[in-house]
Chain A
Amino acid sequence: MSDNKKWFSLNLSSPKKQSTGSCGCGKTSGGCGSHANDQISDEDFDAAVDAAIGDERKKDGFDQVFDVQMDRRTAFRKLTASLLIGAGAVSTSCSVTTGEDAKEKAQIDWEEQFKGNYKLMTDKERNATVERLVRSYQLRKEKTITMSSQNAEEDVLFGYAFNISKCQGYMDCVSACVEENNQDRNSQMEYIRIHEMKDGKGFKFDDADDNYYHEVPAEGHFYMGTQCFHCDNPPCVDVCPVQATWREDDGLVVIDYDWCVGCRYCMAACPYDGRRFNWSTPKVPEEEVNKNQHYLGNRMRKKGVMEKCTFCVQRSRAGKNPACVEACPTGARIFGNLLDPDSTIRWVLENKKVFRLKEDLGTEPKFWYFMD
């Protein structure tokens, strides 16, 4: 059934095995009539994947780059490219006059420049790059940050619900998000937009104001927040030419800031205005930097890369609510594990009349709206 569906659909009952063997009926063994015998088992699938890309699976990020078979031409091309970028790093690291710190900095920069895609790294490599980034920050700013590379947990699928009746447009979520996620203060980058809509006009986004500066709640208006919806079938992921953005197993759509080339194709592909670009070097005053970071989340970005809401991966994977949920004074925001039948989010989905935006696009957002 899952093989010949006409469109993609979010399956909350057995999402873990969705891709490999189960069918939409929710049962794991025969009975619904669509379990064909020729469906491949998980082991076979793994074996096939191993046979096809086995090397890549085991390779760490460094090997992804350096341990590749290449002919002379590619080697030459690679060398010229790296020569240009690495020349500066080499000159510092080989010089006898520069200090130990400068050498270490140059060494880290070199390894960071040529590391692989985080998505394809092993856990060991992920830890290594995180350690390098922490050390690099220490060397530069003489402050210690903690950075996590915690992976998605089993049987977790994050979802979000937004209560339109409760939201009063205070925008505490927006400021909490900016502080939590170390967003650029100069360009006032914000992941969340609160749309102020007129009563009696319904959800008319074109008439809404998403950039208001007056006392709220304003008479005759209601409020609705948007951000990245972490689609289960995200259009932004497909279009990325270098797989710098992907959907994690717990449903979060994340970006490897160091792998992104900044083509902004994902931005054009997102129907929900969920992505932001660093048009210049992001600036956060040192005392305001949130030092509790995650590689895929709120670590410092650089200019020319994409970024977006990650449902505060540094918090959600540590069992906490995202900053926007915690900051909301009205309780309009609900976050939780969609696979846990006892979670609040599941209660909302089962007991409220929920809807999502632009469902016709088949993106399956994991972000629902409802009213009291």
Chain B
Amino acid sequence: MRRLKVFTSLVKDSLDVTTQGSKKYHLWMAFLTFVMLVGMYCYSVQLEFGLSATGMTDRVSWGLYISNFTFLVGVAAAAVMLVMPTYVLKDIDFKQAVLIGEGLAVAALIMCLAFVVADMGGPSVLWHMIPGIGVFNFPNSMLTWDVIVLNGYLFLNISIPFYILFRRYQGKTPDPKIYVPGAILSVFWAVAIHLVTAFLYQGLQARPFWNNALLGPRFLASAFAAGPALIILVLAIIRNFTEFKIEDKTIKKIGMIVAVAAQINLIMLVSELFKEFYAPTHHSESAYYLFFGLQGKTALLPWIWTAIPLNVLATIILTFGKLRNNLNVLYFACFILFVAIWIEKGFGLIVPGFIPGPYGKIAEYTPTGIEIGVTIGIWALGAFIFTILAKTAIKIETGRLQFKGK
């Protein structure tokens, strides 16, 4: 009964926290709400007219939604980069950052689920996929594996921080015996969510561009570069706008993680490019389309030739300790790396998988306004959720928010 009382009080208090704040905060939340409403309007149009409101066709049947889904799974997986040293290796530096990382993971996962639902042709029959009520094609379909690991990861990333914050809220110290096993589990789980998502594509013999043993490892490397890069940027913002203390040391350490992951990612990219272009086969056509265009169809060229230089530049900056340890340079490198990987692992990965088609037909894909509206709306939803989570967590962590009643 007491727990229930504390919980109700926590909910009330966090509602207070999230509805009060500076003018900037209110403007930010109003802006996000507006974008979300626009996204919802776009989605209602899509519901009415069907997926023909998007740029997808029978030739390119996955687009912006699935691209963003793939990328965000990586961001969610990256929370583990902070969990591991903090809870398992007892590196105290990361402790402040870890709650932020896990909040980011929760927001990213909710965005993932939203993107998948937005991509469905029949959202009203999605209950067919719920095990027990519907028919769950486990273990044959990798999509069912993905449903399991994503929801499991979401549960882990909600329950661990919730337990810690719940204890802190009551002025108690969290018991490591309870949360450390969960944290260790989530370390393995994070690798699983990303590997399983890669297998979703990797297992399709119909699409040579994806049917490639390096896809899974490359997913992991790019995720562990892009995710912590985003966390660094978020920490920088939080440091600026709140009284939450994050030491330079913490940010620099995460920067090192980003550097190593970006280097590995670049090595794998070189390996892939070598395989595709040294002895090109019929199966290299998708890569040719992506990097050079085929038969005058060049829609992806500007994107990929933005992504590759940014990727290389960021990796070079991050490699040199002197540059990396200058925080402003680090933020810049993290930002361009994030953008580069979003392009490369988003539609730079999904769209060429369909081009050329199974019989060599080259039909290009351009997202429509509706599709872009829904996508931006879902990103705003993620930012909204993250802001709420982070604001409450910071208040509790700094000891400003505590259970008063007895």
Q: Interface of A with B (CB < 8 Å)? A: 64-65, 68, 70, 74, 77-78, 81, 85, 113, 116-117, 119-120, 187, 189, 193, 195, 205-208, 210, 226, 235, 238-244, 258-265, 267-273, 275-281, 303-306, 361-363
Q: Are B135 and A117 in contact (CB under 8 A)?
A: yes
By size class, the interface of chain B is 35 or more
Q: Are A206 and B356 in contact (CB under 8 A)?
A: yes
Q: Given A208-B359, A243-B135, does the pair A238, B141 have CB atoms closer than 8 Å?
A: yes
Residues from chain B with a CB closer than 8 A to the CB of A206 are 285, 356, 359-360
Cα A259 to Cα B61 in complex, Å, equals 19
Q: Are A264 and B121 in contact (CB under 8 A)?
A: yes
Q: Given A260-B122, A263-B119, A305-B121, does the pair A270, B206 have CB atoms closer than 8 Å?
A: yes
Residues from chain A with a CB closer than 8 A to the CB of B126 are 261
Q: Are A260 and B121 in contact (CB under 8 A)?
A: yes
Can you list 22 pairs linking A and B with CB atoms under 8 Å apart? A68-B133, A70-B132, A74-B130, A195-B359, A205-B360, A206-B360, A238-B140, A239-B140, A242-B137, A262-B121, A268-B206, A272-B358, A275-B58, A277-B61, A278-B121, A279-B58, A280-B50, A280-B52, A303-B50, A304-B50, A304-B122, A361-B205
Residues from chain A with a CB closer than 8 A to the CB of B125 are 113, 258-261
A-contact bits for B189-213, CB 8 A (1 contact / 0 none): 0000000000011011111000000
B289 to chain A, nearest CB (A): 11
Point out which of A261, A306, A362 has the most chain B C-beta atoms below 10 A from its C-beta: A261
Cα A120 to Cα B201 in complex, Å, equals 28
A-contact bits for B123-167, CB 8 A (1 contact / 0 none): 011111110111111001111100100000000000000000000
Residues from chain B with a CB closer than 8 A to the CB of A270 are 206, 358
Residues from chain B with a CB closer than 8 A to the CB of A272 are 206, 358
Q: Are A210 and B361 in contact (CB under 8 A)?
A: yes
A187 to chain B, nearest CB (A): 8
Residues from chain A with a CB closer than 8 A to the CB of B127 are 78, 81
Residues from chain A with a CB closer than 8 A to the CB of B358 are 270-273
Residues from chain B with a CB closer than 8 A to the CB of A195 are 359
Q: Are B206 and A74 in contact (CB under 8 A)?
A: no
Cα A210 to Cα B52 in complex, Å, equals 22
Cα A113 to Cα B126 in complex, Å, equals 11
Residues from chain B with a CB closer than 8 A to the CB of A239 are 140-143, 203-204
Contact of B133 among A70, A85, A361 (CB under 8 A): A70
Contact of A267 among B52, B58, B140, B201 (CB under 8 A): B58
Cα A242 to Cα B49 in complex, Å, equals 24
Cα A270 to Cα B128 in complex, Å, equals 22
Q: Are B50 and A279 in contact (CB under 8 A)?
A: yes
Q: Are B122 and A262 in contact (CB under 8 A)?
A: yes
Q: Are B132 and A277 in contact (CB under 8 A)?
A: no
Cα A187 to Cα B137 in complex, Å, equals 31
Q: Are A242 and B205 in contact (CB under 8 A)?
A: no
Residues from chain A with a CB closer than 8 A to the CB of B129 are 241-242, 261
Point out which of A64, A206, A276 has the most chain B C-beta atoms below 10 A from its C-beta: A206
Cα A235 to Cα B211 in complex, Å, equals 13
Cα A189 to Cα B203 in complex, Å, equals 28
Q: Are A241 and B144 in contact (CB under 8 A)?
A: yes
For chain B, residues 156 to 195, give those with C-beta under 8 angstroms from any C-beta of chain A. Answer: none
